[in-house]
Structure 1
């Protein structure tokens, strides 16, 4: 947990920020701006717009600025300090990742969480720290954004995407309203990816006063004394169950379809730089095998999260308990399970997210044109089809969408899926802490190359027009006349 007995040192943080500024100066970061100004019918055009200012959005924005792509803005629908899940629907007490991971630091030691923490609380407190408290991780991300002076605009939601000649038009509303033109669009939309909540069929039609998704805003105080069911055996199900119990729920039952709890976190066991940099270059059959296997074995909830639930005497775990149907009755919710009928006052569905763009009105113009893995990239010899994988977008090397029908929506080549939906194509480099810096680097290298190629004529004109001499003409003496005189003699 966080070292709370000692107040943070503002002097130490100021020293860290000074060292970071010097490091950036030594590395010539940010690089000098190099992308020519662009206008469309007199309207300024952004080089890149990033949607989302959570961890991935901040890492992408910082990497763009470092690369000299400065005509960029990141929009986030949340108020400042509430971006991402950390202090909203993430209900764990600490991060699940090891504290030593460098996360979005982009290769800069002074930009790591460890540097930020030790500058304020010292090395001894760092050594005593087990896992990073989630609220403190949010504080770090706020500092990250502030110390790098990243161009983030809060309380702004994207409501639509449309083509505008060779550019992309996005409609926004909130603190800023109107239409913005950009050359590239990055969707750093986090765990919800492209589709939002995954809601099982048995919950459709059930009154929302009786249930919530685990990523909803939930009034846990209202569950005091209530009978609560939680569907699922993952980390979010444990976190929500524990939060309900700690708020005074009368009872909490974990309804778990699997016969046994998953116990081994497979991908953590093979984590390496080989996985980070090699997964996206594997043949498709191997990409499918890796993701399918980890999906079938599932990721276990952390031991601490599970114990946070099981230490309560009014918590029960029902394994091999599938949901047959749910209906409302005089007692609240009647849940028909494979172990018989059960009655509850409220249900929390920790059922994850989906990649169905058709359910998101802001994606209406592009959803029909986006190529998925089911559009020819998947073949039966890879293994059985799996819901959630077949619908995953088939992305290019810079996370860009591809067209289902060539020529049907050219702007997709400049819209980048830098979120959890990219996992099947690129590996886990655009949603989780361990490899987000590598993902941001891969994304920005592609955007920089595209911007340079699109302006190649202007760059060549700049080459021809450059006329600052290196030599002034007085650095040497021309010996040709002397040689000619010697020859004449």
Structure 2
């Protein structure tokens, strides 16, 4: 290493050497395909956050170079990390390897220590949220992943020839200078995050007050504008406390937290069984067992991090109202009156930290195929005492995270659309959105796509095998003992 090389440059050199020793990436092997006079993408990935980047890296390392990642955000702002995520640090323990795909030099730890040293790593409690985004930017840059930013997918529709058309818009929809184009792909991956198949869930009760009086926690909330105001937060999950803490730190006069349960959940049940067995075995469980596991995990609920709760409770102006679902809202001259079974409260602004829903019909870009997607409720007899809408609406996915048809033959193209986001949890486990198993999910996805591409081109690969003519032997390496020997040629 040069005396002038930085530790980060040395890490990048080590990563390049690791990849070279592993012969990664291999040469491209997918035969090119053309449609409408242009090259067809083998894979298009919608979403350039952590899941999309990990999927892109693994596709490349399996020799599928002809792919593109598409994201509507500006470069470096993909995913929730510096947009609507408002926690101070990540929930996950710092040592989890995340999207490193089993390469030590690609881990957050390697990136962090290269810049700040081992002592700083040892002293680090949890990963600061903005720093995780910095790491993902480096991940994209050091692997030279093909990401196209500030591009929205307006529509994804199956073509008659079995390919998939992606109608794209560059620029804001209201911009008269926005440009449109269509790309064609053989496979499409929906790496679209927590709200991947739906959107923010807002209770109907929000409609009882004007829009300027409330926001969902995933919205671009102007917290500076909440200074001096009375803020209410609905929910008791991590995002509820993150938004409450952000509001208080921005100078909100007070925050009232409305919690439906009698107590805040305290135990993360899935953490108790986290193991490679869960990662690799969940997808092979029978349907009833999958439902039983996920139903219990959801009804038990995931507790907010202790740090997030303390971030709120250290403020004297924070008030917690357990057993207090809001039953009515009304705007009055002195503010919004929020009525709960335990009393009425007057606030100025309300934040719904109520999660997301998985309703494909809510996403216009998926309208061409949404009605054909088979959901769990379409073929699984849910026990009456175990019904949860989030699970019932989950897509019933096949291998490699592919959608399946509600009616066989109605939309065969679904077998080329891969649901690599939170909605895959009931079918495959938590492999497509959370940090702990994202590498395992990306590898399962990419291997499945590789298998399908090879199978689809089986005749072309067979023809290539027949046409291959590079000889390894020249014919002079041996002699048939029963044939006359040319002594002048000498012994071999």
Among 246, 251, 254, which residue is 2:254 paired with?
251
Matching residue within 372, 388, 399 for 1:386: 388
The yes-or-no answer on 1:147 pairing with 2:142 is yes
Shift of 1:60: 0.5
Give aligned pairs, total: 476
Matches within 5 A, 1:71-82: 71-82=66-77
Are residues 1:430 and 2:432 paired? yes
CA contact (8 A) 2:157 2:366 kept: no
Preserved CA contact (<8 Å) 1:372 1:404: yes
Ranges in structure 1 where 5+ consecutive residues have no aligned partner:
1-8, 484-489
Indicate the residue corresponding to 1:207 in structure 2: 210
Cα drift, residue 482 of structure 1: 4.7
- Measure the CA separation in 2 of the matches of 1:443 and 1:70: 15
Q: Match for 1:49 among 29, 44, 48?
A: 44
Answer whether contact 2:215 2:350 (CA < 8 A) is retained.
Answer: yes
TM-aligned CA deviation for residue 477 of structure 1: 2.6
Cα pair 1:94 1:131 within 8 Å, conserved: yes
For 2:308, which of 282, 294, 305 is the aligned residue? 305
* Structure 2 gap segments, 5+ residues each: 172-178, 486-492
Q: Distance in 2 between matches of 1:21 and 1:197?
A: 41
Kindly state the Cα deviation for residue 151 of structure 1 after the two structures are TM-superposed.
Answer: 0.1
Q: What is the root-mean-square deviation of aligned Cα atoms in Å?
A: 1.5
1:338 equivalenced with 2:341 (yes/no)? yes
Structure 1 residue matching 2:303: 3-state secondary structure: coil
Partner of 1:481: 483
**Counterparts of 2:484 and 2:111, CA distance in 1:** 68
The correspondence for 2:167, drawn from 153, 165, 171, is: 171
- Give the aligned partner of residue 227 of structure 1: 230
Q: Are residues 66 and 311 of structure 1, via their aligned partners in 2, closer, same or farther at CA, if it must alter by over 3 Å?
A: same
Separation in structure 1 between the aligned mates of residue 461 and residue 392 of structure 2, nearest angstrom: 41
TM-score by length of 2: 0.95
Counterparts of 1:380 and 1:296 in 2: how far apart (Å)? Answer: 14
* 2:23 is the alignment partner of 1:28: yes
Equivalent position of 1:419 in the other structure: 421
- For 1:444, which of 420, 443, 446 is the aligned residue? 446
CA contact (8 A) 1:48 1:73 kept: yes
Aligned equivalents of 1:12, 1:235: Cα separation in 2: 35
Partner of 1:362: 365
Q: CA deviation at 1:206?
A: 3.0
Equivalent residue number for residue 100 of structure 2 = 105
Please give the alpha-carbon distance, in whole angstroms, between the structure 1 residues aligned to 2:455 and 2:164. 17
